[in-house]
Structure 1
Amino acid sequence: MDTTTANRYGLELHQALMSRTTVPPLRLREPDMTVADAYAVQLSMVRHRLQTGETIVGKKIGVTSKPVQDYLGVFEPDFGQLTSGMLRTEEEGVDLSGLIQPKAEAELAFVLEHDLQGPGLTATDVLRATAYVSPCFEIVDSRIQGWDIRIQDTVADNASCGVFILGQAKAHPRSFDMALAGMVLEKNGTLFSTSAGAAVQGSPVNAVVWLANTLGALGLPFKAGEIILSGSQSALVPVTDGDELVCTIGGLGSCRARFHSGARA
Structure 2
Amino acid sequence: MIAERATGAQIAEAAERLRRAAATGVPCAPVRELIGGWDQDAAYAVQRAVLDGRLADGARRVGHKIGLTSPAVQRQFGVFAPDHGVLLGAMVHTDREPLDLGRFLQPRIEAEIAFVLGKDLDWPSVTAAEVIAATDFLLPALEIADSRIAGWDIRITDTVADNASSGAVVLGTTPRPLAAVDLPGLGMALDHRGETVSTGSGAACLGTPVAAVAWLAREAARRGDPLRAGDLVLSGALGPMVPVTGPGVFRARLDGLGEVHADFVRGDVTHATHAANGSTA
Contact 2:67 2:83 in 1 (8 A): yes
Greater RCO (CA < 8 Å, at least 6 residues apart): 2
The answer to whether residue 234 in structure 2 is matched with residue 229 in structure 1 is: yes
Counterpart position of 1:19: 24
What letter is aligned with 2:237? Answer: S
Contact 2:250 2:263 in 1 (8 A): yes
Counterpart position of 2:250: 245
Flag the 1:29–1:121 CA change in 2: closer, same or farther, 3 A: closer
What letter is aligned with 1:163? Answer: A
Counterpart position of 1:188: 193
The answer to whether residue 44 in structure 2 is matched with residue 44 in structure 1 is: no
Q: Work out the number of aligned pairs and report it.
A: 264
Deviation, 1:32, is 6.4
Contact 2:187 2:254 in 1 (8 A): yes
The answer to whether residue 209 in structure 2 is matched with residue 204 in structure 1 is: yes
What letter is aligned with 2:198? Answer: S
What letter is aligned with 2:231? Answer: E
Deviation, 1:218, is 2.4
Q: Provide the rounded CA distance (Å) in 2 between the counterparts of 1:86 and 1:152.
A: 22
The answer to whether residue 84 in structure 2 is matched with residue 79 in structure 1 is: yes
Deviation, 1:120, is 1.6
Flag the 1:177–1:75 CA change in 2: closer, same or farther, 3 A: same
Contact 1:184 1:195 in 2 (8 A): yes
Counterpart position of 1:113: 118
Q: Provide the rounded CA distance (Å) in 2 between the counterparts of 1:201 and 1:41.
A: 26
Counterpart position of 1:216: 221
Deviation, 1:69, is 3.6
Flag the 1:68–1:252 CA change in 2: closer, same or farther, 3 A: closer
| Secondary structure at the counterpart of residue 236 of structure 2 | strand
Q: Which runs of 5+ in 1 are unaligned?
A: none
Question: Deviations along 1:209-257, whole A, 9 cap, x unmatched?
Answer: 0000111122322111111000011211111332211111111111111
What letter is aligned with 2:142? Answer: F
Q: Provide the rounded CA distance (Å) in 1 between the counterparts of 2:102 and 2:44.
A: 28
What letter is aligned with 2:191? Answer: E
Deviation, 1:169, is 2.4
Deviation, 1:162, is 0.5
Contact 1:87 1:165 in 2 (8 A): yes
The answer to whether residue 100 in structure 2 is matched with residue 95 in structure 1 is: yes
Flag the 1:44–1:178 CA change in 2: closer, same or farther, 3 A: same
Computed over aligned residues only, the root mean square deviation of the Cα atoms, in angstroms, reads 1.8
The answer to whether residue 159 in structure 2 is matched with residue 140 in structure 1 is: no
| Secondary structure at the counterpart of residue 208 of structure 1 | helix
Q: Which runs of 5+ in 2 are unaligned?
A: 1-5, 270-281
Question: Deviations along 1:117-163, whole A, 9 cap, x unmatched?
Answer: 12121111111111111110110111011111111111111111011
The 5 Å alignment of 1:170-185 reads 170-185=175-190
Contact 1:96 1:240 in 2 (8 A): no
Deviation, 1:73, is 5.3
1:4 to 9, 20, 33: 9
Q: Provide the rounded CA distance (Å) in 2 between the counterparts of 1:71 and 1:38.
A: 20
Contact 2:11 2:34 in 1 (8 A): no
Q: Provide the rounded CA distance (Å) in 2 between the counterparts of 1:29 and 1:217.
A: 25
Contact 2:200 2:238 in 1 (8 A): yes
Q: Provide the rounded CA distance (Å) in 1 between the counterparts of 2:165 and 2:112.
A: 15
